[in-house]
Amino acid sequence: MFRGVRGAITVQENTEKEIMQATDRVLRKIIQDNELVPEQVASVFISVTDDITGVFPAKALRSIEGWNYVPVMCMKEITVQSALKKCIRVMMHINTAKSQQEIVHVYLEDAVSLRPDLSIEK
């Protein structure tokens, strides 16, 4: 079965260091909470709001051992006036036998406000 796993995190500053650390944190939590291995992952999309320009967040996935062959693409989130600022969003497409209810979506920092119904720490 092909499923999507969502995640998001916010940063305080538009710096390479903070963007890399935040992206690494949300990716590792998605991987850990869903017990993923690279071979299960078809692709990863990472979007950022207009105020994140310090580095391509995909670089964080490349730094995780064993994940360098997983296709990953960065893109801009659409601009909505009331949208959460300094937000990095992840959509990971995985092959799994898990049901949709078993997938663990990860929302950290101020991104919890995007999906409070899914943001309960498991």
Residues assigned a catalytic role = 6, 62, 74, 77, 89, 107, 115
Task: For the chain, give the number of residues.
Answer: 122
The CB density around residue 64, as the number of other CB atoms within 10 Å, is 14
What is the distance in angstroms between the CA of the first residue and the CA of the last residue of the chain? 23
Cβ neighbours of residue 114 under 8 Å, at least 6 residues apart? 8, 84, 87, 89, 107
3-state secondary structure of 63: coil
Q: Are 89 and 6 in contact (CB under 8 A)?
A: yes
Q: Count the neighbouring beta carbons within 10 Å of the beta carbon of residue 47.
A: 18
